[in-house]
Amino acid sequence: MKRLAVYCGSSMGADPAFADTARALGGEMARRGIGLVYGGGRLGLMGVVADAVLEAGGEAHGVIPQALTDLEVAHRGLTELHVVTTMHERKAKMTELTDAFVALPGGIGTLDELFEAWTWNALGYHAKPFCLLNVHGFWDRMIGFLDDVTGSGFMSPARRGQLLVADGIDAAIDMLDAAAQAGERKMVW
């Protein structure tokens, strides 16, 4: 895995463990030579992970829509900053640049990005794996809900099984690394 897209909040969140994890993830990615792909802003966990990658000597590639360059305070110290026009372009570009996705705690932007990575994979548009980094059980209730969606007959166990979950940074990177190598584009029903 050469690059990893990190989806996470443009806020810090209420638990300091969220920022600690974002910082540690950035450092570990740089140590392993894995480039960061992310939303290009300086705010919240997004800024924390980018700064950590850069401070540890790694590469950080940002993708931000023009309209958000002020609002999300575009990071001007990145290896590369792609300024795009729409949110759709942003996600398409991030998908093109990365080999896999990891979701840290975040809000609707993070959820939107995670579910798009999943649905596009499930439909065979790409074979890039995605993983929840479950900091202090942040994702537990969503994971439970997704089990309910499967139990209610709206998602097959095969699709449900695509969502990887890791409690720690090393586990998340190792899981994604293995899945990215094994990945093949296919429709998963």
User: Which residues of the chain form contacts with ligand AMP (CB under 6 A)?
Assistant: 9-11, 39, 41, 68, 72, 87, 90-91, 106-110, 112-113
Closest to 45 (Cα-Cα) out of 73, 76, 74, 8: 8
- Tokens found for residue 189: 């029903």
Describe the strand order of the beta sheet including 101-103 as a list of residue ranges.
Answer: 80-84, 60-65, 35-38, 3-7, 101-103, 130-133, 164-166
- Cβ 38 to ligand AMP shortest distance, Å: 8
Q: Which is nearer to ligand AMP, 24 or 43 (CB)?
A: 43
- Cβ 165 to ligand AMP shortest distance, Å: 18
- Cβ 91 to ligand AMP shortest distance, Å: 5
Q: Which is nearer to ligand AMP, 11 or 150 (CB)?
A: 11
- Cβ 66 to ligand AMP shortest distance, Å: 12
Q: Which is nearer to ligand AMP, 98 or 110 (CB)?
A: 110
Structural contact between residues 100 and 176, judged by C-beta atoms closer than 8 angstroms = yes
- Tokens found for residue 89: 């372009």
Residue 158 burial by Cβ neighbours in a 10 Å radius (0-12, 13-18, 19+): exposed
Residue facing ligand AMP at closest CB distance: 109
